[in-house]
Amino acid sequence: MMTAPLVVLQLAFLQDAAVPAQPQAPAQPSAPASATEPAKPVAPPTRFGELVSLEALEQSLRQLAASSDGKVTLASIGTSTAGRTIHALHVTSQPKRKVPVPAVLIVAGLDGWHRSGSLVAAGVAERFALEQRAAIDARTVLDGLDLWVIPVANPDAWALGLARPQDHAGRVGAGIDDDRDGRVDEDAPRDVNGDGVIAMMRRLDCPSDAPATRVADAADPRLDRAPDGAKGELAAFSLMIEGLDQDGDGSVGEDAIGGITVDANFPHLWREFAADTGRFPLEAPEAKALAEFIRTHPGLGAVYVLGRQDSLARTPNHERRDITGRTPVFIDGDDKALYERIGKLYRDSTGIERARDAAHEGSFAAWCYAHRGLPTFCSQVWQRPDPSPPPEDKKPEDKKDAPKPNDEESAAWLAWSDRDQGGRGFLPWKPFDHPTLGKVEIGGWAPGFRTEPPSATLPELITKHAGFVAALAGESARVRVERVKAREIAPGVTEITVDLVNDGRMPMTTSMARTNDAVPPLRLRAKVSIDALLSGDVERRIERLDPGSRASVSWTVRRAPKSHVEIGVHYPSGRFDRVMVDDDALLYGGRVLEGGWEW
Ligand SMILES: [Ca+2]
Ligand SMILES: [Ca+2]
Ligand SMILES: [Ca+2]
């Protein structure tokens, strides 16, 4: 009990260090008192509440491991293209645990535009490790669960941050000739007007071979839409990324800096002929390191990915299939109920109900689910906040005839930027005399405005996501031997029945795992000679054990008095138990000896 006040003091110190300007010093004396008071619904302080340099984040990870009484171990799962360490945190309540338990894996930082996801992932590890009971009952959860957190899966991209346009943010390594013109990175998007940001351009003088395609949206001329030909509208400009067309080929920014997009370099729905997806799947060392980690950690019960994609705010489509007709593009129909239920848990835990579309072909999450059969859930970390109501002078009657925005979601982002964020979210369109394109306007969304939440919200986001991870862990499949019955049906002949149960809330394996044999079935292997086996199979396989369901397997074997029969129980997770049936078992039932991992 001596350590608890120390932890509180240390966290208070860290909070002050992270937010030096906040006049919150008077709150400090109340910190020790709160240890005895009931938890307040306030997000506990965190050392991951602010976007910092990669080096500073790594330093915080090391500090977390050092201050956790051995509950957090910092390991490396590999090295990035540029030679940076890819860290993994292992969080457990029992560092010397001998019997393996299922683990939840959290992966974040796959590209450079969702760095807050890395902070949230590390912050969740911190919450579990330091048992911030205001947020979650971490001890209960960790008793039956370990947590793996890979907060920055793509450190090279993370280090670059928002310096590159979002579409290219996750690229690593040497340049690729994106447009196959024999030159590499010859016309990357760039900051043409020198405002420090690569934004968008509206080209006003469009040539006939690259005609205008968009008009400004009357509801808010900062936004654009396709012209309505039926109303005689003519397109006024084309929209393109800020750049120069340095090679004069008519395209702007067509050959971006950088090589492989890590989160498009995984095998499922890998785009073979795209410029940035790698020459072969898992070519990027970052992708290979993640895949290796998954392969060598078969006990993962669920994977939670924080970044570009979402599969929780909205349940993924379960009907679309690829051209073979066999592989689901998103999820298998039989896994729909699972995703709906976990999605509801997520929305209840985080309050996040909105999501943006994002490409998922070749992504880590798509591969984890489709090829490895793992229940894999994606979160975009936060959602667009609701804008404050419009000011008084814009009364509803004035707006009755006002045109409706074509893209309501973008309009709502703008409203939030204008009314609540001092307009920081959008760079107004400004005329610019472009050296190769003539008259243009440069402006658009401020980089990261819609992907990175304000730092002030991070502690609360960490609390919400930690709550979801705790809920997710509570949902995992819990397959175990419920009882072992042994009965002597004739002298020297024993009938053995092993009852199995899944008293968790997830199926033993996803439907996807069964479809593609990604995960072995549960196997029960009787270790008896073939002539001692009077009935039953040497090995029995159980493909499916849904939540709340049971399975029962029986054998009849010859067993001499004072001898024993062993049955190996091999779970899909790679764990195994041993069932022992001897003379005592006839009275008390067989014993289950926890084995370990088979890996
Ligand atoms: Ca090129
Ligand atoms: Ca610029
Ligand atoms: Ca060009």
Can you spell out the DSSP letters for 342-359? HHHHHHHHH---------
Is 536 within 8 Å of 552 (Cβ atoms)? no
Query: Do 140 and 280 sit in the same domain of this protein?
Result: yes
CB 568 within 8 A of CB 575: no
- Asked whether residue 131 falls in the same domain as residue 278, the answer is yes
Nearest to 12 by CA among 33, 1, 2: 33
Say how many Å lie between the CA of residue 259 and the centre of ligand 1.
12
> 434 lies in which domain range?
187-257+410-445
Per the domain annotation, does 572 fall within a domain? yes
Distance 433 CA to ligand 1 centre (A): 25
Measured distance CA(595)–CA(599) in Å, rounded:
12
Same domain flag for 298 and 234 = no
Distance CA 361, CA 286 (A): 17
How many angstroms does the Cα of residue 357 sit away from the middle of ligand 1? 28
155, 303: one domain: yes
> Which one of the ligands is nearest to 432 CA?
2
The answer to whether residue 179 sits within a structural domain is no
Q: Residue 467 C-alpha to ligand 2 middle, in angstroms?
A: 40
Q: Does residue 249 share a domain with residue 276? A: no
> Same domain for 504 and 538?
yes
CA 201 – ligand 2 centroid, Å: 9
- Nearest CA among 114, 80, 112, 83 for reference residue 284: 80
> Residues with Cβ < 8 Å from 92, sequence gap 6 or more?
71, 142, 146, 147
Distance 207 CA to ligand 3 centre (A): 15
Ligand in closest contact with the CA of 427: 2
DSSP code for 193? S
Between the CA of 438 and the centroid of ligand 3 the distance, in Å, is 15
Rounded to the nearest angstrom, the distance between the alpha carbon of 338 and the centre of ligand 1 is: 45
Query: Any idea what the Cα angle at residue 141 is, between residues 135 and 142, rounded to 5°?
Result: 110
* Distance between CA atoms of residues 65 and 87, nearest Å: 12
DSSP code of 265? -
| 308 and 359 assigned to the same domain | yes
**Considering every ligand atom, which ligand is closest to the CA of 178?**
1
Which ligand is the nearest neighbour of the Cα of 247?
A: 3
Same domain, 273 and 363: yes
What CATH number is associated with residue 539?
Answer: 2.60.40
* Ion ligand 2, residues whose Cβ is below 5 A away: 191, 193, 195, 197
Indicate whether 549 and 489 sit together in one domain: yes
Query: Do 295 and 343 belong to one domain?
Result: yes
CA of 187 to the centre of ligand 2 (A): 15
Residue 82's CB is within 10 A of a number of other CB atoms, namely: 12
Q: How much distance in Å is there from the Cα of 304 to the middle of ligand 1?
A: 36
What's the CATH number where 326 sits?
A: 3.40.630.10
Type and span of the H or E element at 421: none
Residue 224 Cα to ligand 1 midpoint, Å, equals: 29
Tell whether 550 is covered by a domain: yes
Q: Is residue 439 part of a domain?
A: yes
273 occurs within a structural domain: yes
Q: Which numbered ligand comes closest to the C-alpha of 244?
A: 3
- Whether residue 83 lies inside any domain: the answer is yes
Distance between Cα 163 and ligand 1 center (Å): 20
CA–centroid distance, 437 to ligand 2, in Å, is 15
Taking ligand 3, which is a single-atom ion, which protein residues have CB atoms under 5 Å away? Answer: 187, 245, 247, 249, 251
Contact 136, 467 (CB under 8 A): yes
**Domain identity same for 278 and 379:** yes
User: Is residue 248 domain-shared with residue 297, that is, in the same domain?
Assistant: no
Shortest-distance ligand to the CA of residue 165? 2
User: Tokens for 154?
Assistant: 């793509």
Q: Which ligand is nearest to the CA of 175?
A: 1
- Find the ligand nearest to 255 CA: 1
Q: Per the domain annotation, does 450 fall within a domain?
A: no
Count of domains forming the chain: 3
CA of 71 to the centre of ligand 2 (A): 46
> How far, in Å, is the centroid of ligand 2 from the Cα of 424?
15
Question: Is 54 part of a structural domain of the chain?
Answer: no
Kindly give the confidence (pLDDT) of every residue in the chain, 599 residues in length, as a single tens digit, with 9 standing for 90 and above.
Answer: 333 333 333 333 233 333 333 333 333 333 333 444 444 456 778 899 999 999 999 999 999 999 988 889 999 999 999 999 999 999 988 777 766 677 899 999 999 999 999 999 999 999 888 865 544 565 566 676 789 999 999 999 999 988 888 888 899 988 888 888 888 888 889 999 999 999 999 999 999 988 999 999 999 999 999 999 899 999 999 999 999 988 888 888 888 888 999 999 999 999 998 889 999 999 999 999 999 999 988 888 899 999 999 999 999 999 988 888 878 889 999 999 999 999 999 999 999 999 999 989 999 999 999 999 999 999 999 999 999 998 876 655 556 678 899 999 999 999 999 999 999 999 999 999 999 899 999 999 999 999 999 999 999 999 999 999 988 888 888 899 999 999 999 999 999 999 999 988 889 999 988 888 888 899 999 999 999 999 999 999 999 999 999 999 999 999 999 999 999 999 988 888 999 999 999 999 888 987 776 65
pTM score, two decimals? 0.87
